Protein backbone atom coordinates (compact mmCIF):
# COMPACT_ATOMS: atom_id res chain seq x y z
CA UNK A 1 0.00 0.00 0.00
CA UNK A 2 2.76 2.41 1.01
CA UNK A 3 4.71 1.28 -2.02
CA UNK A 4 1.79 2.08 -4.28
CA UNK A 5 1.38 5.55 -2.80
CA UNK A 6 5.04 6.36 -3.37
CA UNK A 7 4.72 5.35 -6.97
CA UNK A 8 1.85 7.68 -7.74
CA UNK A 9 2.87 10.74 -5.70
CA UNK A 10 6.27 11.86 -6.99
CA UNK A 11 8.73 13.51 -4.60
CA UNK A 12 9.26 17.23 -4.84
CA UNK A 13 12.08 18.73 -6.92
CA UNK A 14 14.20 19.79 -3.96
CA UNK A 15 14.46 16.17 -2.82
CA UNK A 16 15.41 15.21 -6.37
CA UNK A 17 18.33 17.65 -6.31
CA UNK A 18 19.69 15.78 -3.26
CA UNK A 19 19.57 12.04 -4.07
CA UNK A 20 20.95 9.44 -1.67
CA UNK A 21 22.24 7.14 -4.41
CA UNK A 22 22.71 6.99 -8.19
CA UNK A 23 22.59 4.26 -10.81
CA UNK A 24 23.89 4.65 -14.38
CA UNK A 25 22.59 2.65 -17.36
CA UNK A 26 24.82 2.31 -20.40
CA UNK A 27 28.32 2.58 -18.96
CA UNK A 28 30.82 0.39 -20.80
CA UNK A 29 34.48 0.94 -21.57
CA UNK A 30 36.64 4.04 -21.39
CA UNK A 31 36.24 7.77 -21.06
CA UNK A 32 34.80 8.23 -24.56
CA UNK A 33 31.74 6.23 -23.47
CA UNK A 34 29.15 8.67 -22.12
CA UNK A 35 27.90 6.40 -19.33
CA UNK A 36 31.42 5.76 -18.04
CA UNK A 37 32.09 9.50 -18.17
CA UNK A 38 29.03 10.17 -16.03
CA UNK A 39 30.14 7.63 -13.41
CA UNK A 40 33.59 9.21 -13.28
CA UNK A 41 32.01 12.64 -12.87
CA UNK A 42 29.81 11.53 -9.98
CA UNK A 43 32.85 9.96 -8.31
CA UNK A 44 35.12 12.96 -8.82
CA UNK A 45 32.48 15.42 -7.68
CA UNK A 46 32.63 13.68 -4.32
CA UNK A 47 29.07 12.38 -4.33
CA UNK A 48 28.71 10.89 -0.83
CA UNK A 49 26.22 8.09 -1.55
CA UNK A 50 26.58 4.81 -3.47
CA UNK A 51 27.02 4.90 -7.25
CA UNK A 52 26.05 1.80 -9.23
CA UNK A 53 26.30 0.69 -12.84
CA UNK A 54 23.50 -1.30 -14.44
CA UNK A 55 24.71 -3.37 -17.37
CA UNK A 56 23.82 -6.98 -18.15
CA UNK A 57 27.08 -7.31 -20.11
CA UNK A 58 29.38 -6.57 -17.18
CA UNK A 59 31.27 -3.83 -15.31
CA UNK A 60 32.53 -0.64 -16.96
CA UNK A 61 35.64 -0.87 -14.77
CA UNK A 62 37.31 -3.41 -12.55
CA UNK A 63 35.58 -3.96 -9.22
CA UNK A 64 32.91 -1.34 -9.99
CA UNK A 65 29.57 -2.30 -8.36
CA UNK A 66 27.55 -3.40 -11.37
CA UNK A 67 24.13 -5.10 -11.54
CA UNK A 68 22.23 -6.83 -14.30
CA UNK A 69 19.04 -4.86 -13.58
CA UNK A 70 18.03 -1.95 -11.37
CA UNK A 71 15.83 -4.03 -9.08
CA UNK A 72 18.82 -6.27 -8.25
CA UNK A 73 20.45 -3.37 -6.41
CA UNK A 74 20.03 -3.76 -2.64
CA UNK A 75 18.78 -0.63 -0.88
CA UNK A 76 17.17 2.48 -2.37
CA UNK A 77 18.20 4.12 -5.67
CA UNK A 78 16.96 7.72 -5.91
CA UNK A 79 18.50 8.98 -9.14
CA UNK A 80 18.96 7.05 -12.39
CA UNK A 81 21.04 8.13 -15.34
CA UNK A 82 19.98 6.60 -18.66
CA UNK A 83 22.58 6.53 -21.44
CA UNK A 84 21.36 3.64 -23.62
CA UNK A 85 20.10 3.72 -27.25
CA UNK A 86 16.67 5.34 -27.64
CA UNK A 87 14.89 2.05 -28.34
CA UNK A 88 16.02 0.59 -24.99
CA UNK A 89 14.86 3.53 -22.86
CA UNK A 90 11.25 2.35 -22.39
CA UNK A 91 12.31 -0.82 -20.56
CA UNK A 92 14.70 1.14 -18.36
CA UNK A 93 11.96 3.58 -17.35
CA UNK A 94 9.78 0.60 -16.46
CA UNK A 95 12.62 -0.66 -14.24
CA UNK A 96 12.78 2.78 -12.58
CA UNK A 97 9.10 2.55 -11.74
CA UNK A 98 9.53 -0.97 -10.41
CA UNK A 99 12.42 0.12 -8.22
CA UNK A 100 10.57 3.25 -7.00
CA UNK A 101 13.27 5.76 -7.92
CA UNK A 102 12.68 9.51 -7.48
CA UNK A 103 14.02 10.73 -10.80
CA UNK A 104 15.61 9.64 -14.05
CA UNK A 105 17.76 11.62 -16.47
CA UNK A 106 17.25 10.48 -20.05
CA UNK A 107 20.55 11.41 -21.71
CA UNK A 108 19.70 9.34 -24.78
CA UNK A 109 18.56 11.21 -27.88
CA UNK A 110 16.53 9.95 -30.81
CA UNK A 111 13.03 11.05 -29.70
CA UNK A 112 10.86 14.01 -30.66
CA UNK A 113 13.84 15.98 -31.99
CA UNK A 114 14.55 13.62 -34.91
CA UNK A 115 11.18 14.52 -36.40
CA UNK A 116 9.76 11.01 -36.91
CA UNK A 117 6.43 9.74 -35.62
CA UNK A 118 8.27 6.82 -33.94
CA UNK A 119 10.50 9.22 -32.01
CA UNK A 120 7.51 11.23 -30.85
CA UNK A 121 5.56 8.12 -29.88
CA UNK A 122 8.46 6.73 -27.83
CA UNK A 123 8.84 10.04 -26.03
CA UNK A 124 5.14 10.10 -25.12
CA UNK A 125 5.31 6.54 -23.93
CA UNK A 126 8.24 6.99 -21.55
CA UNK A 127 6.55 10.11 -20.13
CA UNK A 128 3.32 8.23 -19.50
CA UNK A 129 5.05 5.28 -17.86
CA UNK A 130 7.04 7.60 -15.60
CA UNK A 131 4.02 9.72 -14.68
CA UNK A 132 1.88 6.71 -13.87
CA UNK A 133 4.72 5.25 -11.81
CA UNK A 134 5.60 8.38 -9.83
CA UNK A 135 9.07 8.80 -11.37
CA UNK A 136 10.09 12.31 -12.48
CA UNK A 137 11.83 12.32 -15.88
CA UNK A 138 14.32 14.91 -17.13
CA UNK A 139 14.82 15.01 -20.91
CA UNK A 140 15.10 12.99 -23.05
CA UNK A 141 18.09 14.43 -24.93
CA UNK A 142 19.51 16.22 -21.87
CA UNK A 143 22.39 16.10 -19.40
CA UNK A 144 20.53 16.43 -16.12
CA UNK A 145 21.40 17.99 -12.80
CA UNK A 146 24.44 19.80 -11.47
CA UNK A 147 24.06 20.71 -7.80
CA UNK A 148 27.30 21.58 -5.98
CA UNK A 149 25.64 21.66 -2.55
CA UNK A 150 24.63 17.99 -3.11
CA UNK A 151 28.07 17.17 -4.58
CA UNK A 152 26.29 16.05 -7.72
CA UNK A 153 27.88 16.76 -11.08
CA UNK A 154 27.67 15.13 -14.49
CA UNK A 155 30.87 16.77 -15.73
CA UNK A 156 34.41 16.31 -14.47
CA UNK A 157 35.30 19.89 -15.40
CA UNK A 158 32.68 21.58 -13.22
CA UNK A 159 34.33 23.20 -10.21
CA UNK A 160 31.60 22.61 -7.61
CA UNK A 161 31.57 26.32 -6.66
CA UNK A 162 28.43 27.55 -4.93
CA UNK A 163 26.54 30.82 -5.44
CA UNK A 164 22.91 31.97 -5.41
CA UNK A 165 22.67 31.60 -9.23
CA UNK A 166 20.47 28.82 -10.61
CA UNK A 167 20.34 28.00 -14.29
CA UNK A 168 18.03 25.85 -16.38
CA UNK A 169 19.05 25.12 -19.95
CA UNK A 170 17.25 23.35 -22.73
CA UNK A 171 20.65 22.65 -24.33
CA UNK A 172 23.37 20.58 -22.70
CA UNK A 173 26.11 22.43 -24.57
CA UNK A 174 24.82 25.83 -23.47
CA UNK A 175 24.62 24.58 -19.86
CA UNK A 176 28.22 23.37 -19.98
CA UNK A 177 29.54 26.54 -21.59
CA UNK A 178 27.53 28.64 -19.13
CA UNK A 179 28.84 26.82 -16.06
CA UNK A 180 32.44 26.85 -17.32
CA UNK A 181 32.30 30.52 -18.19
CA UNK A 182 30.76 31.68 -14.92
CA UNK A 183 33.04 29.50 -12.81
CA UNK A 184 36.03 30.77 -14.71
CA UNK A 185 34.91 34.29 -13.80
CA UNK A 186 34.72 33.32 -10.14
CA UNK A 187 31.00 32.59 -9.78
CA UNK A 188 29.51 29.16 -9.14
CA UNK A 189 25.92 27.91 -9.01
CA UNK A 190 23.22 26.66 -6.71
CA UNK A 191 21.45 24.41 -9.22
CA UNK A 192 21.90 23.81 -12.95
CA UNK A 193 19.57 21.63 -15.01
CA UNK A 194 19.96 20.69 -18.66
CA UNK A 195 16.40 19.61 -19.50
CA UNK A 196 16.27 18.88 -23.24
CA UNK A 197 12.92 17.80 -24.67
CA UNK A 198 11.09 18.29 -21.30
CA UNK A 199 8.67 15.38 -21.71
CA UNK A 200 7.90 15.43 -17.96
CA UNK A 201 9.65 18.04 -15.77
CA UNK A 202 9.15 21.37 -17.57
CA UNK A 203 10.97 24.68 -17.55
CA UNK A 204 7.89 26.35 -16.06
CA UNK A 205 7.83 23.92 -13.15
CA UNK A 206 11.53 24.41 -12.47
CA UNK A 207 11.26 28.20 -12.52
CA UNK A 208 8.42 28.03 -10.02
CA UNK A 209 10.56 25.78 -7.85
CA UNK A 210 13.55 28.16 -8.04
CA UNK A 211 11.30 31.09 -7.19
CA UNK A 212 10.54 29.40 -3.85
CA UNK A 213 14.08 28.07 -3.35
CA UNK A 214 15.71 30.18 -0.60
CA UNK A 215 19.18 29.28 -1.87
CA UNK A 216 18.44 30.81 -5.31
CA UNK A 217 18.58 34.59 -5.76
CA UNK A 218 18.99 34.83 -9.52
CA UNK A 219 17.30 32.59 -12.09
CA UNK A 220 18.83 31.99 -15.52
CA UNK A 221 16.99 30.18 -18.31
CA UNK A 222 18.11 29.16 -21.78
CA UNK A 223 14.91 28.40 -23.68
CA UNK A 224 14.52 27.08 -27.23
CA UNK A 225 10.78 26.60 -27.12
CA UNK A 226 7.94 25.35 -25.00
CA UNK A 227 4.88 23.17 -25.32
CA UNK A 228 3.07 25.61 -23.04
CA UNK A 229 4.56 29.08 -23.51
CA UNK A 230 1.74 30.76 -21.58
CA UNK A 231 2.51 28.75 -18.47
CA UNK A 232 6.26 29.35 -18.87
CA UNK A 233 5.83 33.12 -19.16
CA UNK A 234 3.45 33.12 -16.24
CA UNK A 235 6.04 31.29 -14.10
CA UNK A 236 8.66 33.85 -15.15
CA UNK A 237 6.40 36.78 -14.31
CA UNK A 238 5.55 35.32 -10.92
CA UNK A 239 9.21 34.59 -10.11
CA UNK A 240 10.32 37.99 -11.44
CA UNK A 241 8.41 39.78 -8.69
CA UNK A 242 10.84 38.26 -6.20
CA UNK A 243 14.09 37.69 -8.08
CA UNK A 244 15.50 38.48 -11.52
CA UNK A 245 14.80 35.93 -14.26
CA UNK A 246 17.39 36.25 -17.03
CA UNK A 247 16.35 34.57 -20.27
CA UNK A 248 18.30 33.60 -23.35
CA UNK A 249 15.64 32.71 -25.92
CA UNK A 250 16.85 31.15 -29.14
CA UNK A 251 15.00 30.16 -32.25
CA UNK A 252 13.86 33.75 -32.74
CA UNK A 253 14.33 33.74 -36.52
CA UNK A 254 12.51 31.42 -38.90
CA UNK A 255 15.79 29.66 -39.70
CA UNK A 256 16.64 29.44 -35.99
CA UNK A 257 13.22 27.95 -35.42
CA UNK A 258 14.00 25.23 -37.94
CA UNK A 259 17.28 24.55 -36.12
CA UNK A 260 15.44 24.30 -32.79
CA UNK A 261 13.11 21.65 -34.11
CA UNK A 262 16.01 19.38 -35.01
CA UNK A 263 17.82 20.11 -31.76
CA UNK A 264 15.25 19.62 -29.00
CA UNK A 265 12.08 19.20 -31.05
CA UNK A 266 10.53 22.25 -29.37
CA UNK A 267 8.24 24.78 -30.99
CA UNK A 268 10.16 28.04 -30.84
CA UNK A 269 7.26 30.40 -31.58
CA UNK A 270 7.36 33.87 -33.11
CA UNK A 271 9.99 36.39 -32.14
CA UNK A 272 7.67 39.31 -31.63
CA UNK A 273 5.35 37.30 -29.39
CA UNK A 274 8.23 36.15 -27.21
CA UNK A 275 9.75 39.60 -26.99
CA UNK A 276 6.48 41.15 -25.92
CA UNK A 277 5.76 38.39 -23.41
CA UNK A 278 9.22 38.53 -21.82
CA UNK A 279 8.91 42.30 -21.49
CA UNK A 280 5.47 42.00 -19.94
CA UNK A 281 6.86 39.42 -17.47
CA UNK A 282 9.79 41.76 -16.58
CA UNK A 283 12.10 38.91 -17.58
CA UNK A 284 15.52 40.04 -18.79
CA UNK A 285 15.80 39.24 -22.48
CA UNK A 286 19.52 38.66 -23.16
CA UNK A 287 20.49 39.15 -26.80
CA UNK A 288 23.48 36.82 -26.80
CA UNK A 289 25.17 34.14 -24.75
CA UNK A 290 27.78 36.59 -23.45
CA UNK A 291 25.10 39.07 -22.45
CA UNK A 292 23.25 36.28 -20.66
CA UNK A 293 26.26 35.38 -18.50
CA UNK A 294 27.43 38.98 -18.01
CA UNK A 295 23.99 40.03 -16.80
CA UNK A 296 23.74 37.20 -14.28
CA UNK A 297 27.18 38.03 -12.87
CA UNK A 298 26.30 41.71 -12.75
CA UNK A 299 23.12 41.08 -10.75
CA UNK A 300 25.17 38.95 -8.37
CA UNK A 301 28.23 41.16 -7.91
CA UNK A 302 27.56 44.78 -8.88
CA UNK A 303 25.63 47.23 -6.69
CA UNK A 304 22.53 48.82 -8.16
CA UNK A 305 23.39 52.40 -9.20
CA UNK A 306 21.08 55.25 -8.18
CA UNK A 307 21.09 56.67 -11.70
CA UNK A 308 22.73 56.65 -15.12
CA UNK A 309 25.57 59.14 -14.54
CA UNK A 310 28.90 57.41 -15.21
CA UNK A 311 32.45 58.37 -14.48
CA UNK A 312 34.68 56.79 -17.14
CA UNK A 313 38.36 56.14 -16.41
CA UNK A 314 41.09 54.79 -18.66
CA UNK A 315 44.80 55.10 -19.23
CA UNK A 316 44.46 56.06 -22.90
CA UNK A 317 42.92 59.34 -24.02
CA UNK A 318 41.72 57.78 -27.25
CA UNK A 319 39.93 54.97 -25.41
CA UNK A 320 38.35 57.57 -23.11
CA UNK A 321 36.78 59.29 -26.10
CA UNK A 322 35.56 56.04 -27.65
CA UNK A 323 34.03 54.91 -24.35
CA UNK A 324 32.27 58.20 -23.83
CA UNK A 325 30.65 57.91 -27.26
CA UNK A 326 29.67 54.35 -26.42
CA UNK A 327 28.15 55.22 -23.04
CA UNK A 328 26.06 58.00 -24.53
CA UNK A 329 24.90 55.73 -27.36
CA UNK A 330 23.82 53.19 -24.73
CA UNK A 331 21.68 55.69 -22.84
CA UNK A 332 24.06 56.71 -20.05
CA UNK A 333 25.25 60.17 -19.05
CA UNK A 334 28.90 61.22 -18.70
CA UNK A 335 28.58 64.51 -16.75
CA UNK A 336 31.44 66.81 -15.87
CA UNK A 337 32.66 66.09 -12.36
CA UNK A 338 31.88 68.40 -9.46
CA UNK A 339 34.20 71.36 -8.81
CA UNK A 340 35.52 69.82 -5.58
CA UNK A 341 36.32 66.53 -7.31
CA UNK A 342 38.26 68.28 -10.05
CA UNK A 343 40.15 70.37 -7.49
CA UNK A 344 40.92 67.28 -5.43
CA UNK A 345 42.16 65.33 -8.45
CA UNK A 346 44.36 68.17 -9.69
CA UNK A 347 46.43 67.95 -6.51
CA UNK A 348 48.02 64.69 -7.52
CA UNK A 349 47.63 64.76 -11.29
CA UNK A 350 50.20 66.48 -13.46
CA UNK A 351 48.53 69.11 -15.63
CA UNK A 352 49.62 67.76 -19.00
CA UNK A 353 48.79 64.56 -20.87
CA UNK A 354 46.02 63.58 -18.47
CA UNK A 355 42.58 65.00 -17.98
CA UNK A 356 40.63 65.47 -14.77
CA UNK A 357 37.35 66.10 -16.50
CA UNK A 358 35.08 63.15 -17.24
CA UNK A 359 36.22 60.82 -18.86
CA UNK A 360 39.38 60.70 -16.76
CA UNK A 361 42.50 59.85 -18.76
CA UNK A 362 44.94 58.70 -16.07
CA UNK A 363 47.77 58.10 -18.56
CA UNK A 364 50.98 57.20 -16.73
CA UNK A 365 49.68 58.36 -13.33
CA UNK A 366 47.88 55.00 -13.22
CA UNK A 367 51.23 53.32 -12.66
CA UNK A 368 51.80 55.04 -9.33
CA UNK A 369 49.75 52.62 -7.21
CA UNK A 370 49.20 55.17 -4.42
CA UNK A 371 47.18 57.32 -6.81
CA UNK A 372 44.34 54.82 -7.10
CA UNK A 373 43.36 55.15 -3.46
CA UNK A 374 43.25 58.94 -3.73
CA UNK A 375 41.32 58.77 -6.99
CA UNK A 376 38.59 56.45 -5.69
CA UNK A 377 38.28 58.26 -2.35
CA UNK A 378 37.61 61.52 -4.16
CA UNK A 379 35.17 59.97 -6.66
CA UNK A 380 33.25 58.20 -3.90
CA UNK A 381 32.38 61.62 -2.49
CA UNK A 382 31.14 63.09 -5.79
CA UNK A 383 27.35 63.19 -5.85
CA UNK A 384 27.37 64.02 -9.57
CA UNK A 385 28.13 60.41 -10.48
CA UNK A 386 26.28 57.15 -9.87
CA UNK A 387 28.77 54.55 -11.04
CA UNK A 388 32.36 54.16 -12.17
CA UNK A 389 33.60 52.33 -15.27
CA UNK A 390 37.33 51.57 -15.44
CA UNK A 391 39.01 50.30 -18.61
CA UNK A 392 42.46 48.71 -18.60
CA UNK A 393 44.44 47.75 -21.69
CA UNK A 394 46.74 45.05 -20.48
CA UNK A 395 49.59 45.83 -22.87
CA UNK A 396 50.35 49.10 -21.15
CA UNK A 397 51.08 47.13 -18.01
CA UNK A 398 52.95 44.32 -19.78
CA UNK A 399 55.43 46.65 -21.42
CA UNK A 400 56.57 47.99 -18.03
CA UNK A 401 56.63 44.54 -16.48
CA UNK A 402 59.27 43.49 -18.99
CA UNK A 403 61.63 46.08 -17.53
CA UNK A 404 60.57 46.04 -13.90
CA UNK A 405 59.91 42.39 -13.02
CA UNK A 406 57.04 41.89 -10.61
CA UNK A 407 55.53 45.24 -11.55
CA UNK A 408 52.41 43.73 -13.07
CA UNK A 409 51.64 41.35 -10.22
CA UNK A 410 51.94 44.19 -7.75
CA UNK A 411 49.87 46.54 -9.90
CA UNK A 412 47.17 43.89 -10.32
CA UNK A 413 47.04 43.26 -6.60
CA UNK A 414 46.84 46.93 -5.65
CA UNK A 415 44.27 47.63 -8.35
CA UNK A 416 42.05 44.76 -7.19
CA UNK A 417 42.25 45.86 -3.56
CA UNK A 418 41.44 49.47 -4.33
CA UNK A 419 38.58 48.58 -6.67
CA UNK A 420 37.04 46.31 -4.05
CA UNK A 421 37.02 49.17 -1.52
CA UNK A 422 35.05 51.54 -3.75
CA UNK A 423 31.62 52.30 -2.33
CA UNK A 424 29.89 53.34 -5.53
CA UNK A 425 29.00 50.67 -8.08
CA UNK A 426 32.13 50.03 -10.13
CA UNK A 427 32.70 47.92 -13.24
CA UNK A 428 36.14 47.04 -14.52
CA UNK A 429 36.89 46.06 -18.06
CA UNK A 430 40.19 44.47 -19.04
CA UNK A 431 40.42 44.23 -22.82
CA UNK A 432 41.12 40.96 -24.57
CA UNK A 433 43.61 42.49 -26.88
CA UNK A 434 46.89 40.68 -26.54
CA UNK A 435 48.48 38.04 -24.40
CA UNK A 436 45.39 36.31 -23.04
CA UNK A 437 47.62 34.32 -20.70
CA UNK A 438 49.04 37.43 -19.06
CA UNK A 439 45.61 39.07 -19.01
CA UNK A 440 44.50 36.08 -16.96
CA UNK A 441 47.16 36.78 -14.33
CA UNK A 442 46.13 40.42 -14.19
CA UNK A 443 42.44 39.57 -13.86
CA UNK A 444 42.84 36.92 -11.16
CA UNK A 445 43.19 39.25 -8.16
CA UNK A 446 40.11 41.14 -9.36
CA UNK A 447 38.13 37.91 -9.54
CA UNK A 448 39.47 36.91 -6.11
CA UNK A 449 38.15 40.23 -4.82
CA UNK A 450 34.68 39.37 -6.16
CA UNK A 451 34.79 41.74 -9.10
CA UNK A 452 33.12 40.97 -12.42
CA UNK A 453 35.69 41.67 -15.12
CA UNK A 454 34.20 42.48 -18.52
CA UNK A 455 36.19 41.96 -21.73
CA UNK A 456 34.65 45.14 -23.18
CA UNK A 457 32.93 48.19 -21.73
CA UNK A 458 30.10 47.57 -24.14
CA UNK A 459 29.36 44.32 -22.33
CA UNK A 460 29.60 45.94 -18.90
CA UNK A 461 27.09 48.61 -19.88
CA UNK A 462 24.67 46.20 -21.58
CA UNK A 463 24.34 44.22 -18.38
CA UNK A 464 24.12 47.35 -16.26
CA UNK A 465 21.27 48.50 -18.47
CA UNK A 466 19.48 45.18 -17.96
CA UNK A 467 19.91 45.36 -14.19
CA UNK A 468 18.66 48.93 -13.91
CA UNK A 469 15.65 48.26 -16.16
CA UNK A 470 14.66 45.18 -14.15
CA UNK A 471 14.73 46.92 -10.77
CA UNK A 472 13.08 50.08 -12.08
CA UNK A 473 10.22 48.12 -13.61
CA UNK A 474 9.80 46.02 -10.46
CA UNK A 475 9.73 49.14 -8.29
CA UNK A 476 7.19 50.86 -10.54
CA UNK A 477 4.90 47.83 -10.61
CA UNK A 478 5.23 47.41 -6.88
CA UNK A 479 4.27 51.06 -6.36
CA UNK A 480 1.24 50.55 -8.54
CA UNK A 481 0.32 47.54 -6.45
CA UNK A 482 0.76 44.96 -9.20
Q: Which of residues 401-430 bind a copy of itself (CB under 8 A)?
A: 402-404
- CA-CA distance, 109 to 121, in Å (whole number)? 14
**Stretch 218-257: interaction string toward a copy of itself, x if CB under 8 A:** ----x-x-----------------------x-xxxxxxx-
Find the part of the chain contacting a copy of itself (CB under 8 A) among 76-84, 151-159, 275-283, 409-417. Answer: 151-159
Which parts of 61-120 interact with a copy of itself (CB under 8 A)?
86, 109-110, 114
- CA-CA distance, 141 to 198, in Å (whole number)? 9
Which parts of 289-328 interact with a copy of itself (CB under 8 A)?
289-290, 315-322, 324-328
SS (H, E, C) the chain: CHHHHHHHCCCCHHHHCCCCCEEEECCCCCCCCHHHHHHHHHHHCCCCCCEEEECCCCCCCCCCCEECCHHHCCCCCCEEEECCCHHHHHHHHHHHHHHCCCEEEECCCCCHHHCCHHHHHHHHHHHHHHHHHCCEEECCCCCEEEEHHHCECCCCCCCCCCCCEEEEECCHHHHHHHHHHHHHCCCCCCEEEECCCCCCCCHHHHHHHHHHCCCCCEEEEEECCCCCHHHHHHHHHHHHCCCCEEEEECCCCHHHHHHHHHHCCCCCCCHHHHHHHHHHCCCEEECCHHHHHHHHHHHHHCCCCCCCEEEEEECCHHHHHHHHHHHHHCCCECCCCCHHHHHHHHCCCCCCCCECCCCEECHHHHHCCHHHHHHHHHHHCCCCCCEEEEEECHHHHHHHHCCCCCHHHHHHHHHHHHHHHCCCCEEEEECCCCCHHHHHHHHHHHHHCCCCEECCHHHHHHHHHHHHHHHHHHHHHHHCCC
Sign of CA dihedral 400, 326, 293, 269: negative
Q: Taking the complex as a whole, how short is the minimal distance between the CB of residue 270 and a copy of itself, in angstroms?
A: 13
Residue from 9, 56, 352, 479 that binds a copy of itself (CB under 8 A)? 352
Find the part of the chain contacting a copy of itself (CB under 8 A) among 5-13, 73-81, 154-162, 301-309. Answer: 154-162
For position 433 contacting a copy of itself by CB under 8 A, the verdict is: yes
For position 477 contacting a copy of itself by CB under 8 A, the verdict is: no
- Residues pairing with 53 in the sheet: 24, 66
Task: Give the nearer residue to a copy of itself in terms of CB position, either 68 or 329.
Answer: 329
Number of amino acids touching a copy of itself (CB under 8 A): 87
Which parts of 159-188 interact with a copy of itself (CB under 8 A)?
169-174, 176-177, 180-181, 183-184
- CA-CA distance, 136 to 455, in Å (whole number)? 41
Q: Taking the complex as a whole, how short is the minimal distance between the CB of residue 395 and a copy of itself, in angstroms?
A: 4
Residue from 276, 353, 373, 381 that binds a copy of itself (CB under 8 A)? 353
Task: Give the nearer residue to a copy of itself in terms of CB position, either 8 or 350.
Answer: 350
Task: Give the nearer residue to a copy of itself in terms of CB position, either 176 or 235.
Answer: 176
Task: Give the nearer residue to a copy of itself in terms of CB position, either 135 or 167.
Answer: 167
Q: Taking the complex as a whole, how short is the minimal distance between the CB of residue 106 and a copy of itself, in angstroms?
A: 13
Q: Taking the complex as a whole, how short is the minimal distance between the CB of residue 373 and a copy of itself, in angstroms?
A: 21
Nearest to 223 by CA among 187, 263, 164: 263
For position 1 contacting a copy of itself by CB under 8 A, the verdict is: no
Task: Give the nearer residue to a copy of itself in terms of CB position, either 185 or 243.
Answer: 185
Distance between first and last Cα of the chain? 46
Task: Give the nearer residue to a copy of itself in terms of CB position, either 109 or 216.
Answer: 109
**Stretch 22-61: interaction string toward a copy of itself, x if CB under 8 A:** ---------xx-----------------------------
For position 334 contacting a copy of itself by CB under 8 A, the verdict is: yes
Q: Taking the complex as a whole, how short is the minimal distance between the CB of residue 378 and a copy of itself, in angstroms?
A: 18
Q: Taking the complex as a whole, how short is the minimal distance between the CB of residue 276 and a copy of itself, in angstroms?
A: 17
Task: Give the nearer residue to a copy of itself in terms of CB position, either 259 or 306.
Answer: 259
Task: Give the nearer residue to a copy of itself in terms of CB position, either 102 or 263.
Answer: 263
Task: Give the nearer residue to a copy of itself in terms of CB position, either 212 or 258.
Answer: 258
Residue from 136, 263, 308, 466 that binds a copy of itself (CB under 8 A)? 263
Nearest to 81 by CA among 120, 42, 44: 42
Q: Taking the complex as a whole, how short is the minimal distance between the CB of residue 255 and a copy of itself, in angstroms?
A: 4
Q: Taking the complex as a whole, how short is the minimal distance between the CB of residue 210 and a copy of itself, in angstroms?
A: 20
Q: Taking the complex as a whole, how short is the minimal distance between the CB of residue 397 and a copy of itself, in angstroms?
A: 11
Q: Taking the complex as a whole, how short is the minimal distance between the CB of residue 90 and a copy of itself, in angstroms?
A: 16
Which parts of 435-464 interact with a copy of itself (CB under 8 A)?
435-437, 439-440, 455-456, 458
Virtual CA dihedral for 254, 258, 263, 268, nearest 10 degrees?
Answer: 50
For position 399 contacting a copy of itself by CB under 8 A, the verdict is: yes
Other CB atoms within 10 Å distance of the CB of residue 317: 15
Task: Give the nearer residue to a copy of itself in terms of CB position, either 227 or 317.
Answer: 317
Amino acid sequence: MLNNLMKTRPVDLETIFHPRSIAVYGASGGFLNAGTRFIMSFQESGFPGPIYAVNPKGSPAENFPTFKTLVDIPGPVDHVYIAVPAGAVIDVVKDCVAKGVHSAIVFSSGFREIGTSEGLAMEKEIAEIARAGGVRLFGPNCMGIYCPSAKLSYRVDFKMMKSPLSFISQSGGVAITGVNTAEDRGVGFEKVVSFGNECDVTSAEMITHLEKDPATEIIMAYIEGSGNPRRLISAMEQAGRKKPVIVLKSGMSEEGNRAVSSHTGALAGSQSAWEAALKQANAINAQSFDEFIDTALTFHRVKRPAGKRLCIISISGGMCVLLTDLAIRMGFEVPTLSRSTMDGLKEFFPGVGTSVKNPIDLAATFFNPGNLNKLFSILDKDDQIDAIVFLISIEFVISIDKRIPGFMDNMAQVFAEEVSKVEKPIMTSVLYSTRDDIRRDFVKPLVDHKQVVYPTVDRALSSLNHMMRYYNTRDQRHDKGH
